[in-house]
Amino acid sequence: MSAELWLQALQEHGYRLTESRRAVVEIVAASSRALTPLEVFDLARAAHSDLGLVTVYRTLEKLEELHLIQRVHQPGGCQAFLAASQGHQHLLLCQHCGQATFFEGDNLDQLFATIAQKTGYVIKDHWLQLFGLCQNCQ
C-alpha cells in the first residue's frame, strides 16, 4: 500500500506521475528485501515492458531524496535499496534470503557516552545492523 503514498509524495514535490515511475515504485514498495537497480529494472518490466534502466536510476534517486527508500550496505555490495524505516530504526538482514526487518534499539546512548568520553570524539550518528537467519531460513 505504500506505493500509493510514495506516488502521492512524488506528486506533492512537483514530480509528475508516469507509468514508468509507477512500475518502479510498486516493485520497491512491495519488496521485503533490498533490491539493486538492475533487479528493480527486471521486476518492473513485467508491468511496464518499455521501461528503461535509466529511469530506474532516476526514480530511485528521487525516492531516496524524499527519504522513502534507503541504501542498504552489505558485505556483498552497497547498491541495494529498501523502503526506509520510519523514525530511527536499525536493520536486521537475513543472510540467506535477504529479508529485511527493522527494530528499535536505543538503549545505546550509555555506550555512546562512554565511547565519547574515552576517545574525545563528539558522536553525531551511528549505524547498527544485524545479520542472521530469519525464521524461514534457519
Interface with DNA includes 36 (CB under 7 A)? yes
Q: How many residues bind its own copies (CB under 8 A)?
A: 33
Under 8 Å between Cβ of 63 and 69: yes
Using the contact rule CB under 7 A, the part of the chain among 35-43, 89-97, 110-118, 122-130 near DNA is 35-43
Partner interacting with residue 138 (select from its own copies, DNA, none; CB below 5-8 Å by kind): its own copies
Helix 37-44 / helix 19-30 crossing angle, nearest 10 deg: 110
User: What's the Cα-to-Cα distance from 76 to each of 4, 36, 48, 133, rounded to whole Å?
Assistant: 31, 12, 29, 16
Which residues contribute to the site for DNA (CB under 7 A)?
11, 14-21, 36-38, 48, 50-55, 57-59, 61, 79
